[in-house]
Amino acid sequence: MKWKADWGLRGRMFVTMFLLFALYIVFLGVLTAYFQSLFAVVAIMGLFMLGQFFFSDKLALYSMGAKTVSEEEYPELHAMVSRLSQQADLPKPKIAVADSQVPNAFATGRSQKNAAVAVTTGIMRTLNQEELEGVIAHELAHIKNRDVMVMTIASFLSTIAFLIVRWGWLFGGGRERGGNQAPVIVAILASLVVWIISFLLIRALSRYREFAADRGGAVITGKPSALASALLKISGRMEAVPKEDLREQAEMNAFFIIPIKSGVVGKLFSTHPDTEKRIEKLRELERELETA
């Protein structure tokens, strides 16, 4: 199997980014009318975007309690990541480990040269070597596809909209009591609409990128069945761990191997497709390899 352009992914990304762009133009117009200054809007959003773009990897690792580890501490893990990075034609990313019983892994970082792959101690205990290779290859595929950068940019204004909705009263805090609150209400309502639509669009894009990363990981290792087996093991363990563990950090700018949230609502708005569908596609890839 060769690494090839996923035109379905590119088409979905283009449509979603176009819709987000159109949505954000309207949002900027509303905020500009409220602040009475386009410069203020651009300055505020620019600061948020720079912070999110340049520090998202550090924030993600910190929030997960993941610490960068040396080759002396985890020689086998480093050797595995080095070998898979070479197969993926990528610079070796930073390697981090989170001391958690939740079996999970994630990739983060703004570019291929500034990326990190993190695994939990739980996933290293749960999976065998081939399965762990499949998981790490999946995360490297996210890095190769620049998924973290794309999703960080795509979610930027959605994050701003959410903050305005959540802390909207602060925008009107300086107004006199009993004064005209209409601009504040308009800004909050516009932000709410933008956040909801952005949320759904970004989730749809994220789910498709998971399928692409599954295929990319299978291309890197040449063993789709190993990742399928890993997904089965991880999904079976996720419900047996404390919900307050990694689940609170599900919204960080990172791509987890398996969704952290559960329940009906979690599935409806999940960033990941159903595990069953992912495994089915991996098995199709396995059959493709056998007949090649």
**Which residues are part of the catalytic machinery?**
139
Q: Given the DSSP bridges, would you call strands 94-98 and 66-68 parallel, antiparallel or unpaired? A: antiparallel
Task: Give dist(CA 284, CA 277) in Å, integer.
Answer: 11
Q: How many CB atoms lie within 10 A of CB 2?
A: 4
Taking alpha carbons only, the member of 27, 110, 88 closest to residue 217 is 88
Taking alpha carbons only, the member of 75, 73, 111 closest to residue 91 is 111
Structure tokens, 18: 């176009």
Q: How many CB atoms lie within 10 A of CB 73?
A: 12
Task: Give dist(CA 90, CA 275) in Å, integer.
Answer: 27
Helix axes 147-166, 129-144, angle to 10 degrees: 70
H/E element holding 68? strand 66-68
Structure tokens, 54: 């340049």
Return all residues near 165 (Cβ < 8 A) that are at least 6 apart.
Answer: 188, 191, 192, 195
